[in-house]
Amino acid sequence: MTDPVVAASKFISLVLRHRPEAIGLTLDAEGWADIEALIRLSQSRHPLTRALIDRAVATNNKQRFAISEDGRRIRARQGHSIAVELGLAPVAPPERLYHGTAARSVEAIRREGLSKRRRQHVHLSADVDTATRVGARHGKPVVLTVRADAMAAAGFAFFRSENGVWLTDAVPPQFIAFPDESSAA
């Protein structure tokens, strides 16, 4: 049996990050949605309650969602395939960041680098363990090391979401160290 909190989290993620129109929900320019509207409009697809939303937000191990200070709105912190302005200021990244991917994607990344594809940003992790978990969602995980300091020196902007996910527009292949390269450290 599916955990109702996990199911609610997945549904909220789908609606807030990718398809608000699926239930007729309107997001503002910063990706915020009225919680009461989310509850009302979700009933035919995935019945939500305020208590279920609050549990999904509080227990999500990736802290994917934020509730506004007044408690009336919700948004996804990152991962959108729709245009939203998260209001994140550029910040200097650490020397290295990490990207978890599936082994089957490595050769394409060697040629093309990392691109945001349908999302607004490429997602990077501050630690290898998180990157490994992300990569494992897609198959046999491979962790790539991104020379973030060199990218920043070359003019690439980095942002850090409230839940610690690092974001950038793209990572060209020359800034990626692959596990089979002795210079990956």
Helix (H), strand (E), coil (C) string for 116-168: CCCCCCEEEECCHHHHHHHHHCCCCEEEEEECHHHHHHCCCCCEECCCCCEEE
pLDDT tens figures, 104-129: 999 999 999 999 887 888 999 999 99
Tell me whether residue 184 is in a domain.
no
Mean pLDDT (whole number) for 4-13: 93
CA 101 to chain centre: 14
For residue 57, the model assigns a pLDDT of: 94
| Confidence at 185, pLDDT banded by 50, 70, 90 | very low
Tell me whether residue 92 is in a domain.
no
pLDDT of 169 > 90? The answer is yes
Tell me whether residue 115 is in a domain.
yes
Q: In this structure, which amino acid lies at residue 176?
A: I
Tell me whether residue 105 is in a domain.
yes
In the block, residue with structure tokens 């035919």: 44
Same domain, 27 and 72: yes
Q: Over the chain, what is the mean pLDDT?
A: 91
| Confidence at 181, pLDDT banded by 50, 70, 90 | low
pLDDT tens figures, 54-87: 999 999 877 889 999 999 999 998 888 888 888 8
Task: Annotate 46-80 with three-state secondary structure.
Answer: CCCCHHHHHHHHHHCCCCCEEECCCCCEEEECCCC
CA distance 88 to 162: 9
pLDDT of 150 > 80? The answer is yes
Tell me whether residue 158 is in a domain.
yes
Q: Is 78 exposed, middle or buried (0-12, 13-18, 19+ CB in 10 A)?
A: buried
Read off the pTM. 0.74
Backbone angles phi and psi of 66, in degrees to 5:
-130, 140
Give the residue numbers spanning the domain of 170: 97-177
For residue 1, the model assigns a pLDDT of: 63
Q: CATH no. for residue 44?
A: 1.10.10.970
Tell me whether residue 16 is in a domain.
yes
CA distance 85 to 75: 11
pLDDT of 23 > 70? The answer is yes
Same domain, 24 and 68: yes
Number of domains in the chain: 2
Same domain, 70 and 113: no
Same domain, 33 and 71: yes
Q: Could you tell me what percent of the chain has a pLDDT over 90?
A: 75
CA distance 98 to 124: 5
